[in-house]
């Protein structure tokens, strides 16, 4: 395979009538075969060409995770254009930035609500929009134009850009990571060599397709001949759908595993296996760190949750734990063809055929990130004697106290979040005398606990309630006991609501936007460094 643009058609030839996509329709699950998928992608690609999309044009896709998203995205790439995914949770301002920065010629939107985020008057490059719920995507499909499509497919080169994925912008405006045809082909080759996803697997996907983790999942499924089952759209139904789909492979962010871990405390191991449908061969946790205790819990229950490490800039590939070679607490060994080294300052550097081409229209950022063939990840890590990598924190997140001590907040935060009562923990302390933490309550756990004791069930009230404070004092004391005194949380505050994407405090993969949280709660943080004989 020379290019990823060919993949839907080579997969159709290889796997024919086997199920490629599975989706919830009217209360049941409906399959689309690889042949049907290839035919659909071909028809949509012909339609895009007929609509005036030229090779190299950028086409944005603003929609939830559905089979139609994948079909449209594959068609964009097959037509020789460049796909620009946008999170459906993005604000009007974020959409304006990505559409404007990429110079998108077309925007494919899920429905009128997503279309409303597209400010055409402010986007001179945007020539047209397509609304999927109005039947406009299906209407785009064309029966003619194979000659031009085949000509374009043959003309696509391995180093041509295929997808521009914008980072979530935890520290500023999103940057567009240019991923080439070669990058995605390398990903498929790596999956084949590991292997992770194999022929016959059923893979349940709820991750947003604007994220590289979901993209590598869909491409690996296509290449391997696995069935990709799409969640029905309601996050509250993920656990029931897992029982229905009974996946053999599950890609997920840590938050899902943490929620299941909390809910199953004290339950027999069989309960953990049953939650995932009873057939799960392997789960892969990515996009954010996961606590060691959570991994140990699932390992003991016979549900292998393996952690990997990657970035958008590395096409979602870097280091991997596998069933054959894994070490809990590490993010694994270098993936096949990947170079991993540690710089003098502790930064993880990465090389390989999956490293991105650079940031779209941002040569300065590209030059700072790609140096002498190495991707500077911005993450700190250590390699053990066997080559297993452990991530110790982000360079930009390292806390240097006023006493000159360096503290990585991620470990403290992960340990605090293992408590069933805590939803999020954000640790601060840079240029301050000691570390402090902002905690949010997990409503699914704290509200029933409060109700059983006759306490108020309003989160804002519970945040300041003495019994809740005493509960969290115990959690913080337990976590502090694992760390040297200089690293211990001296004081904490309980926020009156949870963090969310809607407030801009979380990324679409539920990572904390540390700077946003800090700006929103400056007064609270400052108060934790005021004169007091208590903890908060």
* DSSP H helical ranges for 129-237: 136-140, 146-155, 181-193, 212-224
Q: Of 501, 500, 515, 503, which is closest to residue 88 (Cα–Cα)?
A: 501
For residues 214, 215, 216, 220, the Cα torsion angle rounded to the nearest 10 degrees is: 100
The reply to whether 270 falls in a domain is no
- Number of domains forming the structure of the chain: 2
- Cα–Cα distance measured from residue 80 to residue 145, given in angstroms and rounded to the nearest whole number: 14
DSSP state of 277: T
Q: What would the two tokens of residue 370 be?
A: 């790609």
- Which residue range is the domain that position 469 belongs to? 398-528
Output the pLDDT for position 400: 77
CATH number of the domain where residue 503 is located: 3.30.300.30
In sequence order, what DSSP letters do the residues of 103-126 get, joined into one string?
T-SEEEESSHHHHTT--GGG-TT-
The reply to whether 257 falls in a domain is no
Give CA 365 to chain center in angstroms: 22
3-class DSSP state of 229: strand
Output the pLDDT for position 532: 45
Output the pLDDT for position 534: 43
Q: Which residues of 438-458 are buried (b: 16+ CB within 10 A; e: fewer)?
A: bbbbbeebbbebbeeeebeee
Give CA 510 to chain center in angstroms: 8
Q: What would the two tokens of residue 286 be?
A: 């990515």
CATH number of the domain where residue 94 is located: 3.40.50.12780
Which of 165, 192, 219 is a domain's end point? 192
DSSP bridge partners of 108: 61, 130
- Cα–Cα distance measured from residue 258 to residue 414, given in angstroms and rounded to the nearest whole number: 10
The reply to whether 255 falls in a domain is no
The reply to whether 287 falls in a domain is no
The reply to whether 523 falls in a domain is yes
Output the pLDDT for position 262: 84
Which of 192, 227, 256 is a domain's end point? 192
Q: Of 382, 416, 383, 411, which is closest to residue 397 (Cα–Cα)?
A: 411
β 58-62/374-383 pair status:
unpaired
The reply to whether 230 falls in a domain is no
The reply to whether 344 falls in a domain is no
Stated length of the chain: 536
| Cis status, amide bond into 239, omega within 30 of 0 | no
Output the pLDDT for position 493: 96
Question: Are 495 and 524 a contacting pair, CB within 8 Å?
Answer: yes
Which of 162, 192, 222 is a domain's end point? 192
Output the pLDDT for position 439: 97
The reply to whether 40 falls in a domain is yes
Output the pLDDT for position 487: 85
Supply the pTM of this predicted model: 0.85
| Residue 116 φ then ψ, to 5° | -65, -20
Output the pLDDT for position 266: 81
Low-confidence stretches of the chain (pLDDT < 50) are 531-534
- Cα–Cα distance measured from residue 143 to residue 203, given in angstroms and rounded to the nearest whole number: 31
């Amino acid at each position: 395979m020379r290019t990823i643009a060919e993949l839907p058609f080579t997969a159709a030839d290889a796997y024919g009538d086997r199920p490629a996509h599975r989706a919830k329709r009217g209360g049941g699950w409906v399959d689309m075969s690889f042949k049907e998928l290839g035919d659909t992608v071909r028809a949509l690609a012909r339609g895009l060409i007929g609509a005036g999309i030229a090779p190299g044009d950028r086409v944005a896709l603003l929609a939830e995770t559905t089979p139609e998203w994948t079909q449209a995205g594959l068609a964009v790439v097959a037509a020789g254009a460049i796909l620009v995914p946008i999170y459906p949770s993005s604000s009007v301002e974020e959409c304006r930035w990505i559409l404007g920065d990429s110079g998108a010629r077309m925007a494919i939107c899920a429905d009128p609500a997503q279309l409303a985020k597209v400010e055409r008057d402010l986007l001179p490059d945007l020539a047209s929009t397509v609304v999927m719920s109005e039947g406009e995507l299906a209407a785009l499909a064309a029966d003619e134009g194979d000659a031009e499509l085949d000509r374009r497919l043959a003309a696509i080169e391995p180093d041509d850009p295929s997808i521009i994925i914008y980072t979530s912008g935890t520290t500023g405006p999103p940057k567009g990571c240019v991923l080439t045809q070669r990058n995605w082909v390398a990903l498929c080759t790596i999956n084949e060599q590991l292997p992770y996803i194999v022929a016959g697997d059923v893979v349940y996907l709820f991750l947003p397709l604007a994220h590289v983790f979901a993209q590598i999942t869909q491409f690996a499924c296509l290449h391997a001949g696995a069935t990709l089952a799409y969640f029905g759209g309601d996050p509250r139904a993920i656990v029931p759908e897992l029982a229905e789909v009974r996946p053999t492979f599950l890609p997920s962010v840590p938050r899902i595993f943490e929620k299941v871990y909390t809910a199953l405390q004290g339950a027999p191991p069989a309960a953990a296996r049953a939650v995932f449908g009873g057939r799960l061969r392997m789960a892969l946790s990515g996009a954010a760190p996961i606590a060691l205790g959570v991994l140990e819990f699932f390992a003991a229950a016979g549900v292998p949750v393996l952690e990997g490490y990657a970035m958008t800039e590395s096409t979602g590939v870097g280091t991997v734990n596998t069933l054959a070679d894994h070490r809990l607490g590490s993010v694994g060994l270098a993936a096949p063809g990947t170079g991993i080294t540690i710089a003098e300052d502790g930064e993880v550097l990465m090389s390989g055929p999956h490293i991105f081409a650079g940031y779209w229209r941002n040569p300065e950022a590209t030059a700072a990130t790609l140096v002498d063939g190495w991707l500077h990840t911005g993450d700190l890590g250590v390699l053990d004697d066997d080559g297993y990598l452990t991530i110790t924190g982000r360079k930009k997140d390292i806390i240097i106290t006023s006493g000159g001590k360096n503290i990585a907040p991620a470990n403290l935060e992960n340990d605090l979040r293992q408590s069933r009562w805590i939803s999020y923990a954000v640790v601060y302390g840079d240029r301050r005398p000691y570390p402090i933490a902002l905690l949010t309550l997990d409503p699914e756990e704290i509200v029933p606990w409060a109700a059983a004791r006759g306490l108020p069930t309003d989160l804002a009230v519970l945040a300041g309630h003495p019994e809740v404070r005493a509960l969290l004092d115990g959690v913080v004391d337990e976590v502090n006991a694992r760390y040297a005194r200089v690293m211990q949380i001296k004081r904490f505050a309980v926020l009156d609501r949870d963090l969310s994407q809607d407030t801009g405090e979380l990324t679409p993969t539920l990572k904390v936007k540390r700077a946003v949280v800090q700006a929103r709660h400056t007064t609270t943080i400052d108060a934790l460094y005021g004169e007091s004989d208590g903890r908060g």
